[in-house]
Chain A
């Protein structure tokens, strides 16, 4: 007993070493990439000094893509909230086989490769008005891709709080549908809505597969610009660009993790 708790055997050190190795394997490239974005000359190395010059350069060239990505993410969130929350509510209130089938169908766009979905969108809607050259075309793709995540997150919470009985309780006290939805349904689904929202923002900002096919030279998003810069510009610019991307996405990922840990239906 004491030897187990006080003296760690070689097995422990082996496991720790292996874990650290795997962590390093994953994080070192990220760190290297971010560092490259802050290095004056990557080929010379760190001794060339640290600079924010490349970040500024990224902002000068790609500010448009960053703002467009944010714009699309926010619009995508708005649409998935307006469509996804009522959809989750409808699924939660109808515990039939049809509802479960719809739930499964909702996951289809996630299972199908983004490129295929994008091609299908172009074939079907590419010739409709000016849609093809509008940022709204990308928004359509993003909504298609992120909506299931919103619905799933909200649905899971709604199913865990027995909404039906809560609503019957509210109705017995005289509350009509609108009031019940506002005062009972939404507050009790809050943690799910929050988790879904962060998920949608994160996925939309990072989405590449669909967007790469859907974008035009005038509607480039951040990940598309990133691919572009890696392909055609100095490594330092691509790396600085990655750094900007991390800065945008990491806070929402951390919040998401926090929610997953503390998020209870009533919280």
Chain B
């Protein structure tokens, strides 16, 4: 698809991994004591796909990952399949997965190279080939010069790159990442996220990524599984999740969402003093819309709502306004960065009818 630089194409040949699909069949998890961590879940992850489990803490995303990994077993009746193979009863050490942990889980009693070589040693790969593959993988992750270092001599970002190298060098069937960037500071998080994105695309491996950070989920996921309270709230591409949220929870969890109240009568929706064509049953409605889909009205004629600016935050590329309309909750509105509007100014707003969402 995308045009890759020559060097990357060569690396891809050497490291390309099998793209194994994963299927979860009715995988629920009840912990001893009766707490339900995960409602029975059915999900197919396509081979080579990067799927991101996204949700607040305690939503069941890590439990799902651990069930796929083999660190937890699903409640009776649940099945985990890698391709055609039922791996439900296999412990993690026999599933051939690669796993990256939030806390790195690097072995402090070994050097960087020894950490990366560990999985190959377990697999009885001969010394010569082991050395070659470790070296290749360290080069791929730009860690060549750190081969002999001890783990405690590395920065957080370097540690997580070692963890990635260690997981990938054994050519796992799937790569599982449990909040791999959470322990890093913001700047490092961005650069390592780009690096992980590049790796996953080039290797073509099936990857499952768990995070509570919607930015990470949007950037990395081919598809995102939004979870809440042990249930799947929505499965979709980042665009689907952002533009067509399945419910109010997803809408509020991903990005910023405005709630606008209006009334429908005879195919016409009235919002404030404006009216739009609208198909739907008559009566009061609550509609959702994104900050970038509300604009400042150019004249009195096309304005829908009036309000007073309660806050104006300059974000460089745009200015984010919080506008308090005459009635209803405050609205967040994105305008041009070079705006000289300020707190207390009165503005007229126009909503984009095509971007209004009715969500259950």
Give me the interface of A with B, judged by CB distance under 8 Å.
161-162, 165-166, 168-176, 179, 183-184, 187-188, 190, 265-266
Contact = CB atoms under 8 A, between A and B. Distances in A.
B176 to A, nearest CB: 8
B170 A173 contact: yes
B85 interface: no
Interface string B114-134: 000011001100000000000
A173 B119 contact: yes
Given A168-B71, A168-B92, A173 B122 contact: yes
A166 B96 contact: no
Interface in B167-192: 167, 170, 176
B103 interface: yes
B106 A174 contact: no
A172 B103 contact: no
Contact of B122 (A162, A179, A187): A179
B105 A168 contact: yes
Interface in B314-329: none
Contacts of A165: 101, 103, 105
B109 A172 contact: no
Contacts of B167: 172-173
Contact of B108 (A170, A183, A265): A265
A188 B118 contact: no
A265 B106 CA distance: 14
Contacts of B69: 172
Contacts of B123: 174
Contacts of B92: 168, 171-172
Kindly list the 9 A-B residue pairs having the minimum CB-CB distance in the complex, ordered from nearest. Answer: A169-B105, A173-B119, A172-B99, A187-B109, A266-B108, A174-B122, A165-B105, A171-B93, A171-B92
A172 B115 CA distance: 13
B280 interface: no
B281 interface: no
Contact of A266 (B91, B93, B109): B109
A171 B69 CA distance: 10
B107 A169 contact: yes
A129 to B, nearest CB: 44
A174 B99 CA distance: 11
Contacts of B163: 169
Chain B interface helix/strand/loop/mixed: mixed
B98 A170 contact: no
B95 to A, nearest CB: 8
B103 A162 contact: yes
B61 interface: no
Contacts of B166: 169, 173
Nearest to B95: A172
Contacts of B97: 172
Contacts of B94: 174
B74 to A, nearest CB: 18
A175 B170 CA distance: 12
B170 A266 contact: no
Nearest to B69: A172
Nearest to A190: B109
Given A173-B118, A266-B152, A184 B107 contact: yes
18 contacts: A161-B108, A162-B103, A165-B101, A166-B105, A169-B106, A171-B71, A172-B69, A172-B93, A172-B99, A172-B167, A173-B122, A173-B167, A173-B170, A174-B122, A175-B122, A188-B107, A188-B108, A266-B109
Contacts of B107: 166, 169-170, 183-184, 188
A175 B152 contact: no
B61 to A, nearest CB: 17
A265 B71 CA distance: 26
Given A172-B69, A173-B170, A174-B123, A188 B109 contact: yes
Contacts of A190: 109
Nearest to B92: A171
A169 B108 contact: no
Nearest to B103: A165
A170 B114 CA distance: 12
A174 B93 contact: yes
A92 to B, nearest CB: 16
A196 B86 CA distance: 45
A170 B118 contact: yes
A176 B122 CA distance: 9
A163 to B, nearest CB: 10
B170 A174 contact: yes
Nearest to A164: B105
A259 to B, nearest CB: 17
A172 B119 CA distance: 9
Contacts of A176: 93
A174 B96 contact: yes
Most buried by A among B71, B99, B122: B122
A140 B184 CA distance: 51
B65 to A, nearest CB: 11
Most buried by B among A170, A174, A175, A179: A174
Interface in B25-65: none
B98 A172 contact: yes
Nearest to B150: A266
B36 to A, nearest CB: 21
A33 B119 CA distance: 59
Interface string B325-340: 0000000000000000
Nearest to A161: B108
A172 B167 CA distance: 8
A176 B106 CA distance: 17
B69 to A, nearest CB: 7
